[in-house]
Amino acid sequence: MEHLPDHLRSGDLLVVNDAATLPASLRGRDGKNNQVEIRLMAQLDERVWQAVALGAGDWRTPTENRPAPPRLRKDEEIQIAANFRARVRGEDRLSGRLLDLEFNLSGEELWRNLYQYGKPVQYSYLDDELKLWSAQNIYSSRPWAVEMPSAGHALSWRLLLKLIRKGVQIVPLTHGAGLSSTGDINIDRALPLAEKFEIPPITMEAVRRTRASGGRVIAVGTSVVRALESASLGPGRFTSLKLGPGYERKTVDGLLTGTHDVSESHYQLLRAFLPENILAGVSRHLEEQDYLTHEFGDLCLILPV
């Protein structure tokens, strides 16, 4: 990462996602005392969240190998703690495991209990239990993301200051990055689902000026791409935009992103930036050189020639 300034130039714009990572994994029991894990996906209302349910086990078991929970019926309650529970309001047509949940608490009480009883979502490739502080970026602010917007994890204040001194402008937006895997094939095929975003006016003005002056707009992570390419919906909305082959970008020129296996959905998103033959060659090189994948892995910079 220390060489990133060598590849950017004065007049470029770096856009980061400043969403903080939530403790989005909650463990509880259904009405028959079955173990259930709830992974939050998006807040829909004051008390209501979209979430996915997983059965027995924990993060040490690969998500795709986790059993499905017993069917959770409408109005059934999941007990998380003595005074903290969630009621099933309904399920999505995609899957009976994709639920709308209404918590019995709201406002400050809800957030206090989320942080008391929740843990960050994590996957089995990690050796140790993930601490919430370690799943934050240095500029994280509002708790909107249920998984870390990981492309920015390697950015340090020293590196950002070096970029600024070189003439690279850095601006934020907030995008509620969702789950990368649920273990349910129907849900996973549809990922990413609709995610909330908000783009400050100062960021949109910086994008306009950069493009007008011939600079490059570079997104730190695909969540930033989804937000910027959805800006026509308004400065703050939910976006269902899916990036992939054939998508013609209107705003974003370059991308700083993690490395991912060709079997993962994130790989398909990168086809909006590179043709398949080049992307396949890059992937082979990364594999041969033992680059690390997932959110704490290595990064790639994709820039226009």
- Domains along the chain with CATH numbers: 4-21+131-302 (3.40.1780.10), 25-117 (2.40.10.240)
What CA dihedral angle connects 126, 128, 133 and 136, to 10 degrees? -10
Which pLDDT score is estimated for 125? 84
Which pLDDT score is estimated for 244? 83
Relative to beta strand 35-43, strand 25-29 is antiparallel
Residue whose token pair is 């690969």 = 62
Which has the minimum average pLDDT: 60-69, 163-172, 214-223, 271-280?
A: 271-280
Half-sphere exposure of 29 (CA within 13 A, CB side): 6
Residue 79 DSSP SS3: strand
Average pLDDT value over all residues in the chain = 90
- Beta carbons of 207 and 228 less than 8 angstroms apart: yes
pLDDT at 26 over 80: yes
Task: For residues 191 and 168, give the distance between their C-alpha atoms in angstroms, rounded to a whole number.
Answer: 32
Q: Which two tokens stand for residue 31?
A: 């009405």
What CA dihedral angle connects 155, 157, 160 and 165, to 10 degrees? -160
Which pLDDT score is estimated for 245? 83
The 8 Å CB, 24+ separation contacts for 286-293 are 286/259, 291/259, 292/259, 293/258, 293/259, 293/260, 293/261
Which pLDDT score is estimated for 171? 98
Under the banding of pLDDT at 50, 70 and 90, the label for residue 288 is low
> C-alpha distances in angstroms, 138 versus 179, 185, 214?
21, 34, 29
Which one of 65-69, 141-145, 232-236, 290-294 scores highest in mean pLDDT? 141-145
Average pLDDT over residues 258-267: 64
Which pLDDT score is estimated for 18? 98
Q: Which two tokens stand for residue 298?
A: 């290595």
Percent of the chain with pLDDT over 70: 90
Under the banding of pLDDT at 50, 70 and 90, the label for residue 264 is low
Task: For residues 266 and 178, give the distance between their C-alpha atoms in angstroms, rounded to a whole number.
Answer: 12
Under the banding of pLDDT at 50, 70 and 90, the label for residue 141 is very high
CA angle 133, 19, 43 (to 5 degrees): 105
**Residues constituting the chain:** 305
pLDDT at 262 over 60: no
Which pLDDT score is estimated for 263? 56
Report residue 158 CA to chain centroid gap.
25
pLDDT at 28 over 80: yes
Which has the minimum average pLDDT: 130-144, 148-162, 249-263?
A: 249-263
Give the list of residues 6+ apart from residue 188 with CB closer than 8 angstroms, or none: 181, 182, 265
Q: Which tens digits make up the pLDDT trace of 215-232?
A: 999 999 999 999 999 998
Task: For residues 151 and 296, give the distance between their C-alpha atoms in angstroms, rounded to a whole number.
Answer: 9
- The more confidently predicted of residues 278 and 51 is 51
The 8 Å CB, 24+ separation contacts for 280-289 are 286/259
Q: Which tens digits make up the pLDDT trace of 160-207?
A: 999 999 999 999 999 999 998 899 999 999 988 999 999 999 999 999
